[in-house]
Amino acid sequence: MTTNSKTAKDIPLSANLKEKSTMEAKMASLETENAILRDDLRKANIEMRKLKSQIAGLPHIDLHETEVKLLRLIAKPGFQPYVQEFESVLPLEQERIKYHLQNLVDLQYISSNRTTRTVPERYELEQKGRDYLVQNKWI
């Protein structure tokens, strides 16, 4: 049986050493590239954390004008934060006021509190809402 393929015994030692040397050089090159990429990834992760922190510190600029008014009213000392009170101050229908109050609850700017069915729902400012008002110099 004759074959044209060479076995390891048939290849001269110098060719094996040359191939080994070439492979080691490629390996060293890949290890260097890998180290550079790891360093780039580390720097990118640091930058990403900084940017996330900056974003978290930004106030929500997408609050509706009515939601800002509601927040300011809730923060006002002596104001009774019930839907009926909001109606007496804002020229809006009760359902529209409830809509905006629920948006603020969903955003965790305020919380709602109802002790019984006969007592109207009361709204309280949460820390996130206070932060928004402070950052915008409303309190």
**DSSP string computed for the chain:** ---SPPPTTTS-HHHHHHHHHHHHHHHHHHHHHHHHHHHHHHHHHHHHHHHHHHHHHS--TT--HHHHHHHHHHHSTT---BHHHHHHHSSS-HHHHHHHHHHHHHTTSEEEE-SSTTSPPEEEE-HHHHHHHHHTT--
The residue count for the chain: 139
Domain around 123: 65-135
Number of domains within the chain: 2
Domain annotation covers residue 4? no
**Co-location of 128 and 71 in the same domain:** yes
pTM, to two decimals: 0.56
pLDDT digits (tens, 9 = 90+) for 16-63: 888 999 999 999 999 999 999 999 999 999 999 998 888 777 665 679
pLDDT higher than 90, residue 2: no
